[in-house]
Amino acid sequence: MQSLNKCRRNFRGTAFRGFTLIELLLVLVIISILAAVVATKFTGRTRQARIAAATQEISNIKTALQAFETDNDTFPTSLDALVNNPGNLPNWKHAYLEKMPVDPWGRPYVYHFPPSSGANNKDFDLYSTGPSGQDQGGQGDNISD
């Protein structure tokens, strides 16, 4: 009667257990393919999450800019005025932002007041230079609200 445990036998007839080189290589290839597929999926999600975070942060900065404009009857000339009192505005009451945010790629947001030429009835320009970091005037992969 044959045992339920099937074992390979070497040329001497003794049993041994293990994997062949082909079996190990096959497993490594399968794991590599799965890792490549998973990494590709997560890379796309990371980019989408960063874009969503930048859009939300821009919206928060715009709210602070509008509060500043309500108190001071003008928009600031730089985003720093939302955090630190510029000293020349008697109606500046408080910091409109706790700290100056940076975009998800670690770069400062781009702000222009007055807006650059060609702006369509906007009070100011505010955007992130996006993944590339190249300022393309609010175009290209730049991110705005």
Q: Using omega within 30 degrees of 0 as the cis cutoff, is the peptide bond preceding 90 cis? A: no
Residue 40 or residue 5, greater confidence: 40
CATH 3.30.70.100 fits 54-127, yes or no: no
Residue 7 has pLDDT above 60, yes or no: no
pLDDT digits (tens, 9 = 90+) for 85-140: 988 888 888 899 999 989 999 999 999 888 876 556 678 999 999 888 887 665 66
pLDDT digits (tens, 9 = 90+) for 36-68: 888 777 776 788 889 999 999 999 999 999 999
pLDDT-derived band at 13 (thresholds 50, 70, 90) equals: low
Tokens 């928009």 appear where? 75
Using CA atoms, how far apart are residues 63 and 79, in angstroms rounded to an integer? Answer: 12
Question: Whole-model pTM?
Answer: 0.68
Distances (CA, A) of 100 to 1, 72, 95: 79, 19, 10
Structure tokens at 33: 């393919």
Contacts for 73 with CB less than 8 Å, ≥ 6 apart: 91
